[in-house]
Amino acid sequence: MNVLIQFITKFLHSYDYASIKDFCLSLCPSFKYNLQMPSILISSILAFTSKYLGLGPVIVLAMFVAVITETVTGIQASKKLGKKFESFRFSRCVIKVAIWMILVYIANSFTLECESRDGWINSIGATFFDIVRLFILIYFVIEYFISILENLAVIDGRPKTDFTDALHDLWKAILELFKGKISNQ
């Protein structure tokens, strides 16, 4: 055992690590800064969501940023309107996220169920429900984006629908552009 430790230590020295501990702290720097609990907690949450909701770490992070941004801009918009922050309003945010996660969980469960069975119809079912899950995730991001736009308009002192009206006008312009291209063909 002692020979193995000496070999490892010598090997690590060749890479400019003073000790095995120095290497371990380089491998997991969260321990150096006493951040191992948040790191482990975040990793556990991402692993759980990836396994049971079918969400990869990147989409979980994007959804987290969307929810936090919507919450923060919502609080700022409420302040701008003279409304106090209440737990009632925060619980509305939690309920919305819970509903979205339930929808994602249901679609992912159907996908996993179809994948666990043989046959072409189950392959089609798995593909269909995976597309439904992705649709829900994309729709989630779009809905939160619209809510954030409403909040930003209020924060900026504009009517709540100012940015969403501009988005609607952009959509109409894109449709007209496509209609023009289709009619010209």
Backbone φ, ψ for residue 171 (5° rounding): -60, -45
For residue 78, tell me if it sits in a domain. yes
84 three-class SS: coil
Cβ contact 108:133 at 8 Å: yes
Cβ contact 23:12 at 8 Å: yes
Helices and strands in the chain, H and E counts: 7, 0
For residue 115, tell me if it sits in a domain. yes
Summarize pLDDT for 68-127 with one digit per residue, the tens: 999 999 889 988 988 887 776 777 788 888 898 899 999 999 999 999 999 999 999 999
Report how many domains make up the chain: 1
| Lowest mean per-residue pLDDT among 53-57, 159-163, 164-168 | 53-57
The domain containing residue 95 runs over which residues?
54-184
For residue 83, tell me if it sits in a domain. yes
Determine the pLDDT at residue 88.
Answer: 66
- The predicted model gives 9-20 an average pLDDT of 84
Summarize pLDDT for 125-164 with one digit per residue, the tens: 999 998 888 888 888 888 888 889 889 999 999 998 888 8
Determine the pLDDT at residue 121.
Answer: 93
- Cα–Cα distance, 56 to 137 (Å, whole number): 11
For residue 38, tell me if it sits in a domain. no
- What mean pLDDT is reported for the chain? 85
